[in-house]
Structure 1
Amino acid sequence: MSESHIVVLGAGLGGTIAAYEIRAALKGRARVTVINRGDDYWFVPSNPWVAVGWREPEAIRVHLPPVMKKHGIAYNNVGAAKVHPAENRVELLDGSAIDYDYLVIATGPELAFDEIPGFGPDGHTQSICHTDHAAAAYIRFEELCANPRPIVVGAAQGASCYGPAYEMAMVLDTELKRRKIRDKVPMTFVTPEPYIGHLGLDGVGDTKSMLESEMRDRHIKWLTNTRVTQVEDGVLHAEEVNEDGSLRKAHDLEFGWAMLLPAFRGVAAVRDVPGLSNPRGFVLTDKHQRNPTWPNIFGLGVAIAIPPVGPTPLPVGVPKTGFMIESMVTAIAQNLKQILDGEAPTHEATWNAICLADFGDGGVAFVAKPQIPPRNTNWSASGKWVHLAKIGFEKYFLRKVRVGESEPFYERLALHVLGIKKLHFK
């Protein structure tokens, strides 16, 4: 009997650790191939630091082919054009194709900048979603420092990742103070969240009070329940809405530097594939991370469909945080092992969340167990120790990717880096 071929589509946080963990769990019983566009892994959580010059892009890059080869994982850097589930085939961008027995989709999202006129790196705002975006944002940041003007930071309607927006605002505040020009740079935070600290999770612990307090202390004004309608050079047009979604007030915010996180959608390779994805292009999965229509396809991370935690006046998505993604990876690896043993899959992701939001000179940490309420653990804290913990997190996780470590990481982060053993993670 020939060995099964497992293809992992994507080599971001989820895809990279999925390849390592699946290979280790199956112990040579299957071939593993990673399909990715390009050869590098980038530690995206450090992108706010790149945007203010605290990190060089090269410092957060891992060149993947040698690591994958060392662990017996094939690597293809062409990128996927389309998944063809009925044929068990992934069509590549160069017209070639790779067949699979099992497919793990970990592509991350496509960034929907085009849904708002003038929005994004090809328009008039900056981005920290990709490291090259953050590097370009740093060039524009230096221009701002030479000619101080207002800053607008936040997220667009439909966004499902809010932590980096808060980080970016606070890190900017810290760096501008270091340069002694903060007094010349008014800052406004714009978000579709119904309140500051919602985070797409209806808050965690006391994040509402803590983040509001941070913004008041740092003289950052904010607009919640706000959608961006258009961006022109130096002016962001936004609409603040009431609880029923009706227009409350229109805002024209002048800026010299602006960064707002976009809404996400599924990538073209999986979007509009019957039975595979929802209308937004996110992969449909069951409690075992399997697609109901195509059970030999698994999905994880930002690529999968998760409903919002509750109704909000504007679309507010649910983040897929690192701990949550890692639990999906482990569930998939163990389910594949059961399937190859001739058993039905039984493993489910725990969907816990642990996040470190660095503010440059402090930060906020929170633990949500599970990530989506109601929760058994709902904890948050703040302090300078969070900044130090984020530095340790960066160092540790980059090492994990560089050496191909397959052991789960976030549970140890909760227990050892944060020192919160009282929470009794299992």
Structure 2
Amino acid sequence: MTHVAILGAGLGGVPMALEARKELRKEDKVTVISDSATFHFTPSNPWVAVDWRKPDAIKVDLAPMFAKKKIDFVHSAAKKVRPEQNNILLANGETVDYDYLVIATGPELAFDEIKGLGPHGGHTQSICHVDHAADSKLVWDDFVKDPGPIVVGAVQGASCFGPAYEFAMIMETDLRKRKIRDKVPMTFVTSEPYIGHLGLDGVGDTKGLLESEMRNRHIKWITSARVKKVEPGKMIVEEVAEDGSVKETHELPFKYSMMLPAFRGIEAVRDIEGLVNPRGFVIADHTQQNPTFKNVFSVGVCVAIAPVETYAVPVGVPKTGFMIESMVHAAAKNIRALIDGKEPRNEATWNAVCIADFGDGGVTFVAMPQIPPRNVNWSADGGWVHLAKVAFEKYFLGKIRRGVGEPFYEKAVFDMLGVHKVKPKAD
């Protein structure tokens, strides 16, 4: 019997567990470890923050679903991963031994790196976690009774820009529905060198599409922005020139603000030489295997990916659901290959696909591969994107509730574009 432990139960960890259970032998054991008893469909968080979704509508209880699939579940945070000893020390004092480990923790939110940022003692809201989004909804309820300026966007070092654009547009749509849009000046603040960069140097015409969307919605923007600090009702932002000098300093008043933070690896994996990079992200090759600890794999947002280029203001690289899905499939097949005495040869595609909902429309893009030059470099907008996001939410949550691990991103995207998958290397 081989024991595969999966640390994390989000958009990477849950599909990883289901795929591993399908790929491994019947006698092999799969254990998921998570600090949360529920799966949350993170892409729906912007809707929760404006009360278009209730938190419970995007949650799935993990223990009963895993039990049906003969997957063990441990509800505890990890205190420290110990790859030299092939075990994980848990916050509850227990230790879980493993033969293979898949790290799928997602990131730690680095609010503390900017004074006054974030919902925990800071002055800005967050949509990175369903609980943050639920708290943001309460603040939003008060805001719409007495509206004022909004500042929204992503700080330096952020790597997930799509939700910032989504939330800006969703808020704008909600304000128009309430007939109070005229009372709310909006400013989009981002570390990106231009609107629509997305951490990917743009995809198709995302620059033109998103700039046009912002102009149509009367949302001002500041790019190459470095947030210095946030005070009650005021954000200090430096607009940085290409040479790194400060072009202009802005003092932006707000009555409501949501800024995506930078990410880093969770404390349980940070500072482990050979396992993680200086930010605590797990080092993995295109087979998702760590080069130092060969029985450790990683999938999802916690994987270390180098930025597209070096900019005056740090800009990270996003990991979309489509990319994570390809990581999951490669990791599951490669662990099985190692169990069978073969070399891990299946490679993740690391393509990027995003459906960004704007409440009454949206933008979608496909980048294959995610880093240019690309074989597919496509983007589009329209009212159909909102409908596609709603349909995808229902489909994905239905899959998780049933414990179904078959891919969806792959089929939907390739059918839409009429292209064929580049298959991973065969064993």
Q: Which secondary structure state, in structure 2, belongs to the residue aligned with residue 367 of structure 1?
A: strand
1:100 to 95, 98, 101: 98
Kept after mapping to 2: 8 A contact 1:291/1:297 = yes
Alignment of 1:13-28 (within 5 A): 13-28=11-26
Matched to 1:63, the amino acid is: D
Kept after mapping to 2: 8 A contact 1:80/1:91 = yes
Counterpart of 2:125 in structure 1 is 126
Kept after mapping to 2: 8 A contact 1:149/1:185 = yes
- Deviation per CA, 1:160-203: give whole Å up to 9, x if none: 00000000000001000000000000000000000000000000
CA shift for structure 1 position 425: 4.0
Partners of 2:180 and 2:106 in 1: CA distance: 37
- Deviation per CA, 1:207-263: give whole Å up to 9, x if none: 000000000000000000001110011001110000111100001100000001000
Counterpart of 1:422 in structure 2 is 418
Partners of 1:292 and 1:15 in 2: CA distance: 21
Alignment of 1:48-197 (within 5 A): 48-122=46-120, 123-197=122-196
Matched to 2:74, the amino acid is: N
Kept after mapping to 2: 8 A contact 1:393/1:413 = no
Kept after mapping to 2: 8 A contact 1:173/1:218 = yes
- Deviation per CA, 1:253-300: give whole Å up to 9, x if none: 000000010000000110011211111100111221111110000011
Alignment of 1:254-269 (within 5 A): 254-269=253-268
Partners of 2:35 and 2:418 in 1: CA distance: 42
CA shift for structure 1 position 406: 1.6
Alignment of 1:248-259 (within 5 A): 248-259=247-258
TM-score if structure 2 supplies the norm length?
A: 0.97
Matched to 2:18, the amino acid is: Y
Counterpart of 1:368 in structure 2 is 367
> Bigger CA drift: 163-172 or 285-294?
285-294
Matched to 1:128, the amino acid is: I
Supply the RMSD in Å over aligned alpha carbons: 0.9
Partners of 1:330 and 1:116 in 2: CA distance: 37
Q: How many residues align?
A: 421
Partners of 1:38 and 1:360 in 2: CA distance: 29
Counterpart of 1:270 in structure 2 is 269
Partners of 1:329 and 1:101 in 2: CA distance: 18
Q: Which secondary structure state, in structure 2, belongs to the residue aligned with residue 87 of structure 1?
A: coil
Q: Which secondary structure state, in structure 2, belongs to the residue aligned with residue 423 of structure 1?
A: coil
Matched to 1:89, the amino acid is: N
CA shift for structure 1 position 424: 3.6
CA shift for structure 1 position 415: 4.1
Partners of 1:313 and 1:191 in 2: CA distance: 13
Matched to 1:141, the amino acid is: W
State yes or no: 1:216 paired with 2:212: no
> Bigger CA drift: 347-356 or 384-393?
347-356
Q: Which secondary structure state, in structure 2, belongs to the residue aligned with residue 252 of structure 1?
A: strand
Identity %: 61
Alignment of 1:216-235 (within 5 A): 216-235=215-234
Alignment of 1:22-41 (within 5 A): 22-41=20-39
Q: Which runs of 5+ in 2 are unaligned?
A: 423-427
Counterpart of 1:382 in structure 2 is 381
Partners of 2:90 and 2:136 in 1: CA distance: 31
Kept after mapping to 2: 8 A contact 1:35/1:79 = yes
State yes or no: 1:354 paired with 2:350: no
